Amino acid sequence: MSDMMSLFILLLSCCYITSSLELSSPTSIHYCLTVIPLFLQSPKKVNLVAALVRGMRVEDALLQLQVTVKRAAKTVYQVIHSARANATHNYGLNPDRLLVAEAFLGKGYFKKRVAYHSKGRHGIKVRPECRLTVVVREITPEEEAEIARLRVSNFLKLTKRERRLVPHKLIETTPIWNRKGKTKSHVAGATAV
């Protein structure tokens, strides 16, 4: 319990917000940057998860990370969640219109330790660290219109069977063969006679 609490306190102390950047353009776009400077995992492995959510809406990214089976997914989830909370609380951005603009990693210290082998031999094992940075921003109205258009076009591309499947009913309970409700009772009655 104490180890879990110390890890949680370390994560909270490491996540900080540096600034809200404002670009000098006709429509000002607010960026909110969240950094976790000490993450004890290889940057290559964490980059697989970060690349998965790069460019997604924050809600979609959080849903995707909940079902991702990677160790880094939990920490990336916490950082994106923290970035969303910072953007809404500190800068008043709308949480429903946030987008993961950037999610990138930097290489941290690669600690070298002794790895003991048999017959008195030894080697060097490396304990990698990385630095995760997540930048969230609000979606512009043009991007929101494009997302809505793409959703409609993707829905139109679905087949009839895919359209019938509703999200809460992932496994279809009614077979597609017997659509008109014809039962085989009239066939069974004919063979019994």
CATH number of the domain that residue 108 is part of: 3.90.470.10
Q: In the prediction, which pLDDT does 10 show?
A: 37
30 forms beta bridges with 22
Indicate whether 188 belongs to any domain.
no
Indicate whether 174 belongs to any domain.
no
Q: In the prediction, which pLDDT does 148 show?
A: 82
Indicate whether 46 belongs to any domain.
yes
Complete DSSP assignment for 76-112 = HHHHHHHHHHHHHHHH---GGGEEEEEEEEEE---EE
Q: In the prediction, which pLDDT does 152 show?
A: 80
Q: In the prediction, which pLDDT does 155 show?
A: 72
What are the angstrom distances between the C-alpha of 27 and each of 18, 83, 138, 159? 22, 22, 11, 40
Q: List per-block mean pLDDT (blocks of 10 residues) for the chain, which spans 193 residues.
A: 40 39 49 86 93 91 91 93 92 90 91 95 94 92 85 75 58 50 55 51
Indicate whether 136 belongs to any domain.
yes
Statement: the pTM of the whole predicted model exceeds 0.75: no
- Lateral strand order in the sheet of 30-39: 16-22, 30-39, 130-138, 98-107
Indicate whether 150 belongs to any domain.
no
Q: In the prediction, which pLDDT does 91 show?
A: 87
Q: In the prediction, which pLDDT does 184 show?
A: 56
Indicate whether 105 belongs to any domain.
yes
- Tokens 């880094």 belong to 72
Indicate whether 56 belongs to any domain.
yes
3-state secondary structure of 164: helix
- The total number of structural domains in the chain stands at 1
Indicate whether 179 belongs to any domain.
no
Provide the domain limits for residue 57. 2-140
Q: In the prediction, which pLDDT does 20 show?
A: 42
Q: In the prediction, which pLDDT does 187 show?
A: 53
